[in-house]
Amino acid sequence: MIKILIVDDEILICEVLKDFFETKGFEIFTLHKGEDVLKIVEKEKPHLVFLDMNLPDKSGMELLPEIKKIDSTTKVIMITACSEEEKVIEAKNKGASDYIIKPFSLAYIQENIMYKVYEQLFEDLRSKHNKLTNIYEQTLFILAKVLEEKDRYTKGHSERVANYSVDIAKELKLPENYIRIIYQAGLLHDIGKIGIKNIILNKRDVLSNNEFDEIKKHTIIGFEILNILNNFKELSVIIRHHHERIDGKGYPDNKKGEEIPLSSRILAIADSYDAMTSNRPYRKGMAQVEAIKRLIMSKGTQLDTMLVNIFVNVLIKNKTVTSEDIKQLLYNDLVIQSLYYH
C-alpha cells in the first residue's frame, strides 16, 4: 500500500489532504510539528512526504536532508506559503521533488502530484522486485497507474486497446496464455510516454514534425523500461514493434510483413482504431464507420490484411457497428469495396 506522510502546522490542510488520499486507498500519517517526523519516516518508510517549510519547532528545510538520508527514494513535496525562488531552489538542491504554494486546490494535487505518487511506488517496487513474491502483477498495476497520471487520455485508451486486441486474439483461437500477454501488452503499449514531456503529450494543436519525432520515441522507451524486468521481456518486444507497418515504413526498426510479431500487428489495428475514434486535445474522434473505412484503406500497407478483416467482423459481432453499416460503406465506395474483399 502507498504510504503518505503529511506534515503541516495547519490542521485543516492535513485533514483535507488526508481525506483526499484516503479516498484513493492510501495509508496516511499526519503530524503538525517536526519533532516526530524522522521517527515516522524511519518506522513507516512513506513513499511520499508533504513537508511544510515553516514548522513551529523545526523547519522543513532542516528535516528534508535528514529524510533523504533515511531513504533517498522517498519523494518530498515542500509546502510553502510563498513562492520565494531562493527557498525553492535550496529545497530542490536538498532533494525535494517538487513544491506547492498555499493555498492550493485538490484539482492541482490530482493534476500535478498524483503522477509522482505512482512513480515513486514504481521505483520502490523495481528496486526490490527480486524480494517480492507478487512483483509481476504489482508492477503491471503500478506501471499502468504511472501512465494514467502522466497522460489523462491514456487511461480509457489503453483499456480499450487491450480489450480490442483480446477480441482479435480470441477470433484467431490463440492460446489463453497468449491472450493474457496480448491483454497486458495492450494495457502498457504506451508506457514509453512516461519519458515524453507533458507539454508535447497534452498539446492542443497538431504536433510539429520535431514533436512527432519525440512521440515516436515512446516505443523504444517502453521497450527499455520493460526489458529490465525478466517477466516483462516478452511484453517489451511486442510494445517495441506496435508502430511498425506491413510495408516496412513504420518505426522504430522498419520491420515489414511477418517480421513484425503477430501480437504487435494485432495491437497496431486496435490502437489505430481507438486513436481514430477517441477525442484528442487537438481534435474530436471520428465516427466508427469512417474509422473502419480508414482501416480498410490501410490493408497491406500499414496494417495486416487478414487481421483487419477479422477486426471488422469483431466490431459487427460486438454490435459496435451493424452489418448494414458496412454494406452501406461498401455500396457508396467501390474502392473500399474492392479493398474489403481483397
- Reported as a single tens digit per residue, the pLDDT across 34-84 is 888 999 999 998 988 999 988 888 888 899 999 999 988 888 998 887 767
Give pLDDT tens digits for 165-212: 999 999 999 999 899 999 999 989 998 988 888 888 877 787 889 999
- For the chain, give the longest Cα–Cα distance: 79
- In this prediction, residue 294 has a pLDDT band, given cuts at 50, 70 and 90, of very high
The Cβ-side half-sphere exposure at 88, using a 13 Å CA radius, reads: 10
Grid cell of 123 as nine digits: 521505483
CB 206 within 8 A of CB 214: no
Q: What is the DSSP letter of 130?
A: G
- Provide the domain count of the chain: 2
Is 47 inside any structural domain?
A: yes
Domain boundary (123, 148, 166) is at 123
Q: Are 30 and 49 in contact (CB under 8 A)?
A: no
Active site residues: 193
Q: Is residue 129 part of a domain?
A: no
pTM: 0.63
Query: 138 and 88 in one domain?
Result: no
Rounded Cα distance, 271 and 153, in Å:
13
User: Could you tell me the residue range of the domain that residue 101 belongs to?
Assistant: 3-123
Render 194-244 in DSSP notation, one character per residue: GGS-HHHHT-SSPPPHHHHHHHHTHHHHHHHHHHTSGGGHHHHHHHHTTT-
Domain membership of residue 258 (yes or no) is yes
Any domain includes 128: no
